[in-house]
Chains A and B, each alone.
Chain A
């Protein structure tokens, strides 16, 4: 299948391993990702926190580019995902606003296409049966807790992603890959988002609860689908081995299970390296 691809700003920087693993998995699953030409930042939290019009215009520019390409677009960052979905939702309901935004970006905007998260693509378009058949290295011994965070499942009317209080798509994917997916109460808890930059004490408290709960339920790793959740958990939780778990992107684990190559460059980018765990389970050499 072909689909427009919006990499998102962090996939070029702090979440490079996420971007690379998404692209590697897409290639292995015959998903042709067509990168949006000259894409720009979605505005993230700072857009909507300060200026409503800007928060609609920035995503709209990219949506107009995808429209020109005649494609839906797929994203990997959950924050980018919710900004695109929220813009789509708002402008579909308010024709006047849509006209205003189209004028501001100077591009036609008919909202004929939509935005998907890569996890949705795997679950709905590829399907877990196909994934199961493609597994070369079952993730046996991996005890994952799936951490969805805020923006895949909320606001529920906007993303319509999964059950907003107890999503299971990522859990089902992990099981299809041969891992154990442990149920836990912090699936959709907030990682503190950008407060990790300005109110570290709030961030640490929220992240410590998430990390400790994961340890308490017997997990040996946390699986995420958002670059900021991953970065916050990886950088703002205590470093000692007893108090920390590796935080892996679902696409990295998908790549391991599919038996792909060239993954070493991803592991060494994590602050808390997952290599010890993955080697101990014979999942990597």
Chain B
């Protein structure tokens, strides 16, 4: 159920917090804003919110703000916050849940390429059973127009690609496991379960 905040500036989803708590089992209600997670977070310098701020926003029902945030997708899942939280809030589990939810709804446009990277990885595994690194890198670059725009970074990446290739680090041909149909079946069943859950 959604209501508007008193000044009319925010849309508050009164069910959001409980939904997230149920799905994540992260004990986010225990957070008392000590900022230990924020201080240890390696990406905090480059994102819109720190982990504790996301927790507070979940508690406050700010669904859209949370699911459209950059942090949930730039979180490196390094588990530093989890290891240090004095209340044992499982922040990475929380991030996983928020990531999953944002995929069902609408993630921020600026993290489209991160999501594309994950999807490319999993498609690669579905097709072959194992990651073919060269295929993964190509798939990743091809799917994102921004990465193909001429830039210093593109040149640097091209040079790096050449170095890695010439040192034999990138296997040219993919390997397909024998049980690749088993993998496809696993993916199918997982999708089926997800469809059931969403009905």
Contacts and interface: CB of A to CB of B under 8 A. Distances in A.
B96 interface: yes
A235 to B, nearest CB: 6
Interface of B: 42-43, 45-46, 73-74, 76-80, 82-83, 90, 92, 96-97, 99-100, 103, 113-115, 117-119, 121-122, 125, 129-134, 137, 140, 153, 160, 163-164, 167-171, 175, 177-179, 182-183, 185-187, 189-190, 193-194
Given A40-B179, A57-B186, A190-B42, A195 B76 contact: yes
Given A200-B153, A201-B46, A150 B80 contact: yes
B164 A14 contact: yes
Interface in A197-216: 197-202, 205-206
Interface stretch (A41-49, A136-144, A249-257): A41-49
Interface stretch (A5-13, A21-29, A274-282): A5-13
Contacts of B100: 50-52
B133 A14 contact: yes
A interface residue count range (under 10 / 10 to 19 / 20 to 34 / 35 or more): 35 or more
Interface string A85-126: 000000000000000100111100000000000000000000
B79 A154 contact: yes
Per DSSP, chain B at the interface is helix
Contact of A53 (B73, B115, B168, B190): B190
B131 A9 contact: yes
A151 B92 CA distance: 13
A12 B77 contact: no
| Most chain A beta carbons < 10 A, residue from B46, B113, B186 | B186
A48 B169 CA distance: 26
Contact of B43 (A41, A156, A200, A202): A202
A53 B193 contact: yes
B117 A61 contact: no
The 7 closest A-B pairs by CB, nearest first: A154-B79, A190-B78, A46-B121, A46-B118, A9-B131, A40-B129, A190-B42
Interface in A253-285: 268-271
Interface string A45-74: 111111111110110010000000000000
B78 A154 contact: yes
A54 B125 CA distance: 11
Contacts of A57: 186, 189-190
